[in-house]
A = this chain, B = another copy of it.
Amino acid sequence: MTVDQTMEVADSAVTDRYPTRMGESPRWVRRTDPTVWAGNDGPMTVPELRAHDRAGYTVVPEAFAAEEILRLRAEVSRLADDPALRGDERVVRERGTGAVRSIFEVHRVSPVIAGLVADDRIVGRARQLLGSDVYIHQSRVNLMPGFEGTGFYWHSDFETWHAEDGLPRPRAVSCSIALTDNLPYNGALMVLPGSHRTFVPCVGHTPEQNYRTSLVQQQVGVPSRRDVEALVAEHGIEQFTGSAGSALWFDSNIMHGSGSNVTPHPRSNIFLVFNSVDNAPGEPFAAGAPRPEFIAARTAEPVR
């Protein structure tokens, strides 16, 4: 039994299996936690679960019918224009133009999105993958407008959720529902299949209120170029393209990013992050204070 394991037995709450933002030249950590947690019944078949375990993501084409997507798009347009949300800190805008880029805690803002979360096609899959009851750690709508979408650099969501929100383990999964067609050239999400099995610690330390800038452009909590090169060489790149209505489920620790969008075609998605109720947040592992509730829930209220 190693020292690390002893510590864990002594005080599992304090053991940090995934140290990050501790200084320079960090070593990669092999993930010891599962990706697919044993569990409940649900909509995914055993081969689907195996594939998800291997790749770290699952694409569900036509997860929603055209009418459903039209209704969701109308709701998102309504929210983006809602005068009641002007100046709301849950609304993140593009640096240059002020166009709405994201709306956070959208399942609290909108009853329509709350209904989507509770839809068995969604929450059922999340429960099955995480092997427990689940709650929403974060929800948001991302609107990448035509011409000016600037993309997101490569990152693992879990790295931030661990460092800044205090999620102990990567027992969380994200669902991205495409509200517009994801084309190869309008900033579609890219994932590195299989990269979820490696935790890539980041250099530096978390500045205070890092979330205020990191949601527009991340500076801390991104891997080095050398790390990305090595991961791409090992895993390759898959781009998530597909019609409006398709859904992408991806592990909290998979390395992903997106390019810019110079086309007139906007790209909008609803992101729902489910965390296991058995993985509730504690103190941040590498930040002074947890991020605000609207970015990262502090209490694990199960979706019913």
A interface residues with partner B (beta carbon < 8 Å)? 146-147, 151, 153-154, 183-185, 187-188, 190, 225, 228-229, 232-233, 237, 239, 241, 257-265
Contact = CB atoms under 8 A, between A and B. Distances in A.
Contact of A184 (B185, B258, B262): B185
Contact of A237 (B151, B185, B190, B257): B185
B264 A258 contact: no
Contacts of A146: 225, 229
14 contacts: A147-B228, A151-B262, A184-B184, A184-B241, A185-B190, A185-B239, A187-B259, A225-B264, A233-B264, A237-B263, A237-B265, A257-B262, A258-B262, A260-B260
Contacts of A185: 184, 188, 190, 237, 239, 259
A263 B241 CA distance: 17
Contacts of A153: 262
Contacts of A262: 151, 153-154, 257-259
A261 B259 contact: yes
A188 to B, nearest CB: 8
B263 A190 contact: yes
A259 to B, nearest CB: 5
